[in-house]
Amino acid sequence: MSASEFVTGEVDLEKFHKKLEKRIDGLVELGLIRPIDYEYSDKKDGKLNGLPFTLKDSICSKNDPTYAGSKILEGYKPPFDATVTKKIKDSGGTIFAKTHQDEFAFGTASTNCAFTTPKNPWDKERCCGGSSGGAAGLSAALDLPHINLGESTGGSISEPASFTGVVGLTPTYGLVSRYGLISFANSLDKIGPISRKVEDAALGLDIISGKDFKDQTTVKKETNYRKSISEDLSGMKIGLPTSYFDIAQDEVSEVVMNAVDDMRSLGAETEEIELEMTEAALPAYYIIAPAEASTNLAKYCGMRYGMEGEPDGNFRNYFSKIRGKGFGEEVKRRIMLGTFTRMAGYRDKYYLKALKVRKKIINDFKRAFKKVDVLAAPTAPMVAPKIEEVEEMAPVEQYKLDKLTAPINLAGMPQLSVPCGFHKKMPVGLHILGDHFQEEDILRAGHNYEKRRGKIDYPEA
């Protein structure tokens, strides 16, 4: 049963939640979740009929431990709900766990989590991707109806969805409120659903999207995404960015190209597209995101909440001591980088230069979307690597796992990763990219492809 069938079906909630509870220990063992005390919602008037949800560890829910994967926030219980959390609760959803992630979402494999490393249900030696690794792994492991909320800054929904063979939807920047999200980079963060089916992701987006005065960047958009997916693909124009297929491993590109053939057989037309700025996106992203993060993370200083000590002595010594102790290696690296690239004397060379490159990337995509409705490409250059391999990679090598997701995230445009086959017995993701606020198009393309592809046999977990 899918989440979408669950919300409209006759479900014995008591029996269902007993079944869910039996699965919790297994999910914890895989390093995917931190369960929270919960009572299932029996709000029959809600739209969600008690459907189980999880939240990435960086999304606040009132009185539930919310650590963003960091020791510096261990023990933190927000006294408020994020807007997305409130929307789920108001619609009759049941939040039963927080999902593990890279510390402050700084990572591409969830190997930077301060508490545990999520294991990929397809092969426990491999990573789930990052940073929403726990959420994506959960959708692969849990064969009961559910929706997870993840968050993407540079690919943190699509890439783990690809590595674990599930569906990940990153909405247009501003479509979903960020109020109550423990922020990474304000101009890049986007909350979005992760699930097993495209229709469930659309249902999730229907619940969480909309204008919110607590987040000034949100926009009003009245669309029923779930309804919009059913139209067929005849006449849809799909662009194939040649540079993306060149960057991905040949075997991965081949699997994705087969999926493109399937979409062609459903009536879509395809054409090759040149995106000139593909190579420049990753370094630009790794300048902009840490620059924003280094200011965002200034608030973790041993006061008001999170890790603290005896606040004696000079503030600079006290803050530096707590931050030195509370932050992990990658967080320190990114704060240092972000502080450096904004410093007087370097700001023009790095930070402003990257923002100009970002403008060129946005223009690059805008030009493409004048010719085609959506773009289709591999989500990630490879399948999920082994956890051990990731831990041995130099930082820049780890960053490169984001190579195909960073450009569209810098542009703030929507993207959907749909599982489309296997390489080395590990899932491969088809990435469908759309213009700003064209979620209907990418969901429609994904849903039609998914119907054509058929069922996936998920591993028993």
Partner 1 sequence: MKNNELERIASAACIDLTENEKKGLEEDMENILDWFSQLDKIDTKDVEPAFHPIDIKNEMREDVVEECLDNEDVFLNTENYEDGFFKGPSIGD
66 or 164, CB closer to partner 1?
A: 66
Q: Quick check: 320 binds partner 1 (CB under 8 A)?
A: yes
Stretch that binds partner 1, among 48-56, 98-106, 293-301, 385-393 (CB under 8 A): 293-301
In the annotation, is 156 catalytic? yes
User: Out of 216, 250, 454, 455, which residue is the one contacting partner 1 (CB under 8 A)?
Assistant: 216
Which residue in 291, 293, 297, 292 sits closest to 341, CA to CA? 291
Among 4, 61, 91, 131, the active-site one is 131
By CB atoms closer than 10 A (0-12, 13-18, 19+), residue 425 is exposed
52 or 407, CB closer to partner 1?
A: 407
User: Out of 15, 39, 45, 314, which residue is the one contacting partner 1 (CB under 8 A)?
Assistant: 314
DSSP secondary-structure letter at 104? G
Q: Which residues pair with 432 in a beta bridge?
A: 376, 416
In the annotation, is 19 catalytic? no
Q: Which of residues 351-370 bind partner 1 (CB under 8 A)?
A: 352-360, 362
Q: Which of residues 414-443 bind partner 1 (CB under 8 A)?
A: 436
Q: Quick check: 304 binds partner 1 (CB under 8 A)?
A: yes
Q: Quick check: 79 binds partner 1 (CB under 8 A)?
A: yes
Among 61, 70, 156, 209, the active-site one is 156
Q: What is d(CA 426, CA 273) in angstroms, rounded to the nearest whole number?
A: 28
Q: Quick check: 284 binds partner 1 (CB under 8 A)?
A: yes
Q: Quick check: 321 binds partner 1 (CB under 8 A)?
A: yes
Shortest distance in whole angstroms from residue 217 CB to partner 1: 5
Q: Which residues pair with 119 in a beta bridge?
A: 127
Q: Quick check: 294 binds partner 1 (CB under 8 A)?
A: yes
Question: Contact letters (x/-) for partner 1, 115-154, by CB under 8 A?
Answer: ----------------------------------------
13-29 vs 133-141: helix axis angle to the nearest 10? 120
Count of other CB atoms within 10 angstroms of residue 226: 21
- Which distant-in-sequence residues (6+ apart) come within 8 Å of 132 by Cβ? 56, 99, 101, 105, 148, 150, 151, 152, 156, 157, 160, 168, 194
HSE-CB at 214 with a 13 A cutoff on CA atoms is 12
Q: Which residues pair with 28 in a beta bridge?
A: none
φ/ψ of residue 27, rounded to 5:
-70, -35
Q: Quick check: 90 binds partner 1 (CB under 8 A)?
A: no
Q: Quick check: 336 binds partner 1 (CB under 8 A)?
A: yes
Judge whether 203 and 223 are in contact, CB under 8 Å: no
Q: Quick check: 37 binds partner 1 (CB under 8 A)?
A: no
| Active-site residue set | 56, 131, 156
